[in-house]
Protein backbone atom coordinates (compact mmCIF):
# COMPACT_ATOMS: atom_id res chain seq x y z
CA UNK A 1 0.00 0.00 0.00
CA UNK A 2 1.28 3.46 -0.91
CA UNK A 3 -0.21 6.86 -0.09
CA UNK A 4 -0.30 8.77 -3.37
CA UNK A 5 -2.77 11.61 -2.82
CA UNK A 6 -4.61 13.92 -0.45
CA UNK A 7 -7.66 16.08 -1.07
CA UNK A 8 -10.51 18.14 0.32
CA UNK A 9 -9.86 18.87 4.02
CA UNK A 10 -12.93 19.77 6.07
CA UNK A 11 -13.14 21.24 9.57
CA UNK A 12 -16.05 21.53 12.02
CA UNK A 13 -16.26 22.82 15.60
CA UNK A 14 -16.58 20.02 18.18
CA UNK A 15 -18.59 20.31 21.41
CA UNK A 16 -17.05 17.93 23.95
CA UNK A 17 -20.21 18.01 26.09
CA UNK A 18 -22.79 17.17 23.42
CA UNK A 19 -20.33 15.26 21.16
CA UNK A 20 -21.73 17.14 18.16
CA UNK A 21 -20.13 19.01 15.26
CA UNK A 22 -21.20 22.41 13.92
CA UNK A 23 -20.06 25.34 11.75
CA UNK A 24 -18.29 23.04 9.30
CA UNK A 25 -16.48 24.30 6.21
CA UNK A 26 -14.04 23.31 3.47
CA UNK A 27 -10.47 24.20 4.48
CA UNK A 28 -8.92 25.31 1.17
CA UNK A 29 -6.87 22.82 -0.91
CA UNK A 30 -4.72 20.22 0.83
CA UNK A 31 -0.95 20.21 0.36
CA UNK A 32 0.14 17.81 3.11
CA UNK A 33 -1.04 16.20 6.33
CA UNK A 34 0.97 14.52 9.06
CA UNK A 35 -0.34 12.53 12.04
CA UNK A 36 2.08 11.32 14.71
CA UNK A 37 0.62 9.45 17.72
CA UNK A 38 2.38 10.02 21.05
CA UNK A 39 2.48 7.47 23.85
CA UNK A 40 3.36 7.37 27.53
CA UNK A 41 5.57 4.40 28.35
CA UNK A 42 6.67 2.74 31.58
CA UNK A 43 8.69 -0.37 32.40
CA UNK A 44 8.90 -2.35 35.63
CA UNK A 45 12.07 -4.29 36.33
CA UNK A 46 12.63 -7.05 38.90
CA UNK A 47 15.27 -9.72 39.36
CA UNK A 48 17.45 -7.99 36.77
CA UNK A 49 14.85 -8.28 33.99
CA UNK A 50 11.81 -6.46 32.66
CA UNK A 51 8.66 -7.77 34.32
CA UNK A 52 6.03 -5.36 33.00
CA UNK A 53 5.71 -2.87 30.15
CA UNK A 54 2.89 -0.36 29.72
CA UNK A 55 2.23 1.88 26.72
CA UNK A 56 -0.78 4.24 26.49
CA UNK A 57 -1.88 6.77 23.90
CA UNK A 58 -1.70 10.38 25.14
CA UNK A 59 -2.30 12.51 22.04
CA UNK A 60 -1.35 12.84 18.40
CA UNK A 61 0.53 15.68 16.74
CA UNK A 62 -1.37 16.82 13.65
CA UNK A 63 0.01 19.08 10.91
CA UNK A 64 -2.05 20.29 7.95
CA UNK A 65 -0.55 22.19 5.02
CA UNK A 66 -2.88 23.95 2.58
CA UNK A 67 -2.72 26.38 -0.30
CA UNK A 68 -4.38 29.11 1.79
CA UNK A 69 -6.18 29.75 5.09
CA UNK A 70 -9.95 30.32 4.81
CA UNK A 71 -11.35 33.34 6.59
CA UNK A 72 -13.80 31.16 8.54
CA UNK A 73 -10.91 29.30 10.17
CA UNK A 74 -10.02 32.42 12.14
CA UNK A 75 -13.30 32.20 14.07
CA UNK A 76 -14.26 28.52 14.04
CA UNK A 77 -10.79 27.14 14.79
CA UNK A 78 -8.84 29.88 16.53
CA UNK A 79 -11.51 31.96 18.29
CA UNK A 80 -10.67 35.28 16.61
CA UNK A 81 -13.24 37.96 15.74
CA UNK A 82 -14.25 38.46 12.10
CA UNK A 83 -15.68 41.77 10.89
CA UNK A 84 -16.33 41.51 7.18
CA UNK A 85 -12.93 40.72 5.68
CA UNK A 86 -11.10 41.99 8.78
CA UNK A 87 -9.83 39.61 11.47
CA UNK A 88 -9.11 40.90 14.99
CA UNK A 89 -6.54 38.93 16.98
CA UNK A 90 -6.60 39.28 20.77
CA UNK A 91 -4.21 37.88 23.34
CA UNK A 92 -7.22 36.41 25.15
CA UNK A 93 -8.53 34.48 22.13
CA UNK A 94 -8.81 30.75 22.77
CA UNK A 95 -8.80 28.08 20.06
CA UNK A 96 -11.79 25.73 19.80
CA UNK A 97 -11.83 21.95 19.62
CA UNK A 98 -12.54 20.80 16.09
CA UNK A 99 -12.91 17.66 14.03
CA UNK A 100 -10.91 17.51 10.82
CA UNK A 101 -11.38 15.13 7.91
CA UNK A 102 -9.62 14.46 4.61
CA UNK A 103 -9.74 11.99 1.75
CA UNK A 104 -6.51 10.11 1.15
CA UNK A 105 -5.64 8.21 -2.02
CA UNK A 106 -3.88 4.86 -1.75
CA UNK A 107 -2.51 2.48 -4.38
CA UNK A 108 -2.79 -1.27 -3.88
CA UNK A 109 -1.64 -3.57 -6.69
CA UNK A 110 -1.97 -0.68 -9.13
CA UNK A 111 -5.56 0.12 -8.14
CA UNK A 112 -6.59 3.34 -6.40
CA UNK A 113 -8.77 3.33 -3.31
CA UNK A 114 -9.98 6.29 -1.30
CA UNK A 115 -9.68 6.56 2.48
CA UNK A 116 -11.89 8.87 4.51
CA UNK A 117 -9.88 9.87 7.59
CA UNK A 118 -11.31 11.90 10.45
CA UNK A 119 -9.47 13.27 13.49
CA UNK A 120 -12.35 13.43 15.96
CA UNK A 121 -11.15 16.08 18.43
CA UNK A 122 -8.16 18.37 18.07
CA UNK A 123 -7.05 21.89 18.89
CA UNK A 124 -4.80 23.89 16.56
CA UNK A 125 -2.66 27.01 16.77
CA UNK A 126 -2.49 29.76 14.15
CA UNK A 127 -0.17 29.13 11.23
CA UNK A 128 3.18 30.87 11.06
CA UNK A 129 3.33 33.64 8.43
CA UNK A 130 6.23 33.94 6.03
CA UNK A 131 6.60 36.68 3.45
CA UNK A 132 9.43 36.92 0.97
CA UNK A 133 10.33 39.48 -1.61
CA UNK A 134 10.04 38.43 -5.23
CA UNK A 135 13.38 37.25 -6.65
CA UNK A 136 14.70 35.63 -9.80
CA UNK A 137 12.62 32.51 -9.18
CA UNK A 138 9.03 32.09 -8.03
CA UNK A 139 8.74 30.53 -4.58
CA UNK A 140 5.52 29.42 -2.96
CA UNK A 141 4.99 30.06 0.78
CA UNK A 142 2.00 27.98 1.83
CA UNK A 143 0.47 28.04 5.33
CA UNK A 144 0.63 25.12 7.74
CA UNK A 145 -1.23 24.65 11.03
CA UNK A 146 -0.17 22.44 13.92
CA UNK A 147 -2.26 20.95 16.66
CA UNK A 148 -2.85 18.01 18.97
CA UNK A 149 -5.59 15.37 18.81
CA UNK A 150 -7.00 13.89 22.00
CA UNK A 151 -9.70 11.36 22.86
CA UNK A 152 -13.11 12.64 21.79
CA UNK A 153 -15.14 10.58 24.27
CA UNK A 154 -14.96 8.39 27.36
CA UNK A 155 -14.24 5.35 25.18
CA UNK A 156 -10.96 6.85 24.01
CA UNK A 157 -11.87 7.23 20.32
CA UNK A 158 -9.61 9.76 18.55
CA UNK A 159 -9.52 8.79 14.85
CA UNK A 160 -11.61 6.84 12.36
CA UNK A 161 -10.92 5.71 8.79
CA UNK A 162 -13.07 4.05 6.15
CA UNK A 163 -12.14 2.82 2.66
CA UNK A 164 -14.25 3.57 -0.42
CA UNK A 165 -14.05 2.77 -4.12
CA UNK A 166 -14.59 6.39 -5.21
CA UNK A 167 -13.41 9.79 -4.01
CA UNK A 168 -16.99 11.05 -4.02
CA UNK A 169 -18.07 8.39 -1.51
CA UNK A 170 -15.16 9.14 0.81
CA UNK A 171 -15.80 12.88 0.59
CA UNK A 172 -19.51 12.39 1.37
CA UNK A 173 -18.65 10.25 4.42
CA UNK A 174 -16.37 12.95 5.83
CA UNK A 175 -18.93 15.70 5.31
CA UNK A 176 -21.74 13.63 6.81
CA UNK A 177 -19.70 12.71 9.89
CA UNK A 178 -18.73 16.34 10.52
CA UNK A 179 -22.33 17.49 10.01
CA UNK A 180 -21.49 19.51 6.90
CA UNK A 181 -24.13 20.05 4.22
CA UNK A 182 -24.23 17.15 1.76
CA UNK A 183 -24.24 19.64 -1.10
CA UNK A 184 -20.63 19.64 -2.32
CA UNK A 185 -18.91 22.90 -3.14
CA UNK A 186 -18.98 23.72 -6.83
CA UNK A 187 -15.49 23.90 -8.28
CA UNK A 188 -14.27 25.37 -11.56
CA UNK A 189 -11.16 24.51 -13.52
CA UNK A 190 -8.24 26.89 -13.95
CA UNK A 191 -6.42 26.24 -17.24
CA UNK A 192 -3.16 28.08 -17.91
CA UNK A 193 -1.74 27.97 -21.42
CA UNK A 194 1.66 29.57 -20.89
CA UNK A 195 4.52 30.05 -23.34
CA UNK A 196 7.81 31.31 -21.90
CA UNK A 197 5.78 32.47 -18.89
CA UNK A 198 5.55 31.22 -15.30
CA UNK A 199 2.65 31.52 -12.88
CA UNK A 200 2.48 31.55 -9.07
CA UNK A 201 -0.78 29.56 -9.10
CA UNK A 202 -0.32 25.78 -9.17
CA UNK A 203 -3.83 24.49 -8.51
CA UNK A 204 -6.07 23.23 -11.29
CA UNK A 205 -9.38 24.14 -9.64
CA UNK A 206 -10.96 26.90 -7.55
CA UNK A 207 -14.18 26.89 -5.53
CA UNK A 208 -17.16 28.84 -6.82
CA UNK A 209 -17.30 32.35 -5.39
CA UNK A 210 -13.68 32.40 -4.28
CA UNK A 211 -11.34 35.22 -5.25
CA UNK A 212 -8.50 34.33 -7.59
CA UNK A 213 -5.17 36.16 -7.82
CA UNK A 214 -2.40 35.02 -10.16
CA UNK A 215 0.88 36.75 -10.92
CA UNK A 216 2.55 36.04 -14.25
CA UNK A 217 6.24 36.46 -14.98
CA UNK A 218 8.08 36.20 -18.27
CA UNK A 219 11.20 34.07 -18.50
CA UNK A 220 14.57 35.82 -18.63
CA UNK A 221 15.19 37.56 -21.95
CA UNK A 222 11.51 37.59 -22.93
CA UNK A 223 8.77 40.24 -22.93
CA UNK A 224 5.27 39.40 -21.78
CA UNK A 225 2.40 40.32 -24.10
CA UNK A 226 -1.08 41.03 -22.77
CA UNK A 227 -2.69 37.70 -21.85
CA UNK A 228 -6.22 36.63 -22.70
CA UNK A 229 -8.36 35.75 -19.69
CA UNK A 230 -11.78 34.17 -19.97
CA UNK A 231 -14.27 32.98 -17.38
CA UNK A 232 -17.08 30.76 -18.54
CA UNK A 233 -16.00 31.54 -22.11
CA UNK A 234 -16.36 35.33 -21.67
CA UNK A 235 -13.28 37.52 -22.17
CA UNK A 236 -12.61 39.49 -18.96
CA UNK A 237 -9.05 40.59 -19.72
CA UNK A 238 -9.90 44.31 -19.56
CA UNK A 239 -11.04 44.12 -15.93
CA UNK A 240 -8.90 41.26 -14.64
CA UNK A 241 -5.43 42.14 -15.96
CA UNK A 242 -3.05 44.69 -14.44
CA UNK A 243 -0.12 45.25 -16.80
CA UNK A 244 1.91 47.16 -14.21
CA UNK A 245 1.91 44.39 -11.60
CA UNK A 246 1.38 41.59 -14.13
CA UNK A 247 -1.34 40.29 -11.86
CA UNK A 248 -4.68 38.69 -12.71
CA UNK A 249 -7.42 39.48 -10.17
CA UNK A 250 -10.89 37.93 -10.21
CA UNK A 251 -13.06 38.96 -7.26
CA UNK A 252 -15.44 35.98 -7.51
CA UNK A 253 -15.03 32.96 -9.76
CA UNK A 254 -18.29 32.03 -11.49
CA UNK A 255 -17.08 29.69 -14.25
CA UNK A 256 -14.12 27.83 -15.69
CA UNK A 257 -11.08 30.09 -16.02
CA UNK A 258 -8.74 29.96 -19.02
CA UNK A 259 -5.54 32.01 -19.13
CA UNK A 260 -3.50 32.21 -22.31
CA UNK A 261 -0.22 34.09 -22.03
CA UNK A 262 2.96 34.22 -24.08
CA UNK A 263 6.27 36.06 -23.95
CA UNK A 264 8.53 36.70 -26.92
CA UNK A 265 12.19 37.60 -27.29
Model pLDDT, residue 99 = 96
CA distances from 131 to 14, 23, 112, 200 (A): 32, 30, 37, 14
Q: How far does CA 3 lie from the centroid of its chain?
A: 17
CA distances from 146 to 40, 93, 187 (A): 21, 17, 27
Model pLDDT, residue 129 = 65
Model pLDDT, residue 95 = 93
Residues 189-203, mean pLDDT to the nearest whole number: 92
User: For residue range 220-241, what is the model confidence (pLDDT) as tens digits?
Assistant: 999 999 999 999 999 999 999 9
CA distances from 39 to 57, 62, 71, 115, 145 (A): 4, 14, 34, 25, 22
Q: Is the whole-model pTM more than 0.75? A: no
Residues 100-116, mean pLDDT to the nearest whole number: 86
Model pLDDT, residue 256 = 94
Amino acid sequence: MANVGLRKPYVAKYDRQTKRYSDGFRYSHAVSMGITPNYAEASLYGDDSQQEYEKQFTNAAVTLGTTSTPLQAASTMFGHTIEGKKVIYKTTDEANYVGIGITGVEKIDGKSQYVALIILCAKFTDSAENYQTKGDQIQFNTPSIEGAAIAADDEGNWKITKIFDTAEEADAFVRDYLNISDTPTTTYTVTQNLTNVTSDFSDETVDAGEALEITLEEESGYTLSEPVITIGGVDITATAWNATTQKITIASVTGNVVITAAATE
